[in-house]
Amino acid sequence: MLPYPQIDPVLLRLGPLQVRWYGLMYVLGFIASYHLVRHQIKRYNLTGLAKHFENLNLVLIISLVVGARLGYVLFYNPAYYLANPQDILATWQGGMSFHGALAGMLAGGLIFCRVTGLPFWQTADIYIITTPIGLGLGRIGNFINGELYGRMSDVPWAMVFPAGGPLPRHPSQLYEAFLEGVVLFSLLWLLKNQYWRRRWPTGSLLALFLLLYAFFRILVECFRQPDAQLGFLFNFFTMGQLLSSLMIATGLLILVFRRKSNGPA
């Protein structure tokens, strides 16, 4: 068993204000995405995207935060928020959903692209390959917060989390940080060269992200403790696994319907 590192979730205190590690991870993810998307714009001469780059980033950030919060409210604790609607905006209490964040970003990006005339599928491909960086950093933030820990285990690297009772558990946040962050980013970043060189149908990288992320998430959910207010759905699945199954279906549909399309739309 490994000792759980007692890292203060608050990085910096400035009077009544607090800078938390989890919030910092979001900021670092946004910064990394900003620079990597800009790098692709310059390398592949995407003049149309360059024109709207700053405004699109702002729309995506807002869409991500709104989607992440509403996704948690709707998917993970609807009964509580139906009874306590005043807490929906209380994001400082915790509760963000990646599946909701992804849906929010796709919806916000689609509307923005339709309004400005940007090719949605190509734009989604450019941005989506940078998403795993924020995912990986976010899971590290979860680990520092001691939340979203794994199921009880006797593996040598199991840890006793402060909020998880006296028995050791899988550090599932680190599993997710590695698979959904490091591995997924590495695969997509390498595949982007094939995407441009061989002129894959636009939307291909988005579809691959959906498929690979869903596979990794379903796998790690086998080691992660289900949310207490939900438990196992249908006595077997977690909410994360069910939502990820929908991602697999969506990814396959995109591959099928975009296979014959070589245009930028």
Residue 264 forms part of a structural domain: no
| Per-residue model confidence (pLDDT) at position 28 | 96
Q: How far apart are CA 226 and CA 150, in angstroms?
A: 8
- Per DSSP, the three-state class of 110 is helix
Residue 83 forms part of a structural domain: yes
Pairing of strands 10-14, 17-20: antiparallel
For residues 23 and 135, the answer to whether their CB atoms sit within 8 Å is no
Q: How far apart are CA 104 and CA 94, in angstroms?
A: 18
Residue 153 forms part of a structural domain: yes
1 pLDDT band, cuts 50/70/90, is: confident
Residue 95 forms part of a structural domain: yes
Residue 215 forms part of a structural domain: yes
Residue 245 forms part of a structural domain: yes
Residue 184 forms part of a structural domain: yes
Residue 263 forms part of a structural domain: no
Q: How far apart are CA 78 and CA 57, in angstroms?
A: 29
Q: How far apart are CA 156 and CA 235, in angstroms?
A: 29
93 pLDDT band, cuts 50/70/90, is: confident
Report which secondary-structure segment, H or E, holds 4: none
- For the segment 35-68, what is each residue's pLDDT rounded down to a tens digit? 999 999 999 999 999 999 999 999 999 999 999 9
Q: Which two tokens stand for residue 221?
A: 């959910």
DSSP 178-199: IIIIIIHHHHHHHHHHHHHHTT
Q: Which of 32-41, 86-95, 130-139 has the lowest mean pLDDT?
A: 86-95
Number of domains in the chain: 1
| Per-residue model confidence (pLDDT) at position 6 | 87
Q: Which two tokens stand for residue 233?
A: 């759905």
Q: How far apart are CA 53 and CA 207, in angstroms?
A: 22
Q: How far apart are CA 73 and CA 77, in angstroms?
A: 5
The whole domain housing 214 covers 10-258
Q: Determine phi and psi for 96, rounding to 5 degrees.
A: -135, 140
Q: Which of 85-94, 97-106, 256-265 has the lowest mean pLDDT?
A: 256-265
- For the segment 197-236, what is each residue's pLDDT rounded down to a tens digit? 888 999 999 999 999 999 999 999 999 999 888 889 988 8
| Per-residue model confidence (pLDDT) at position 261 | 66
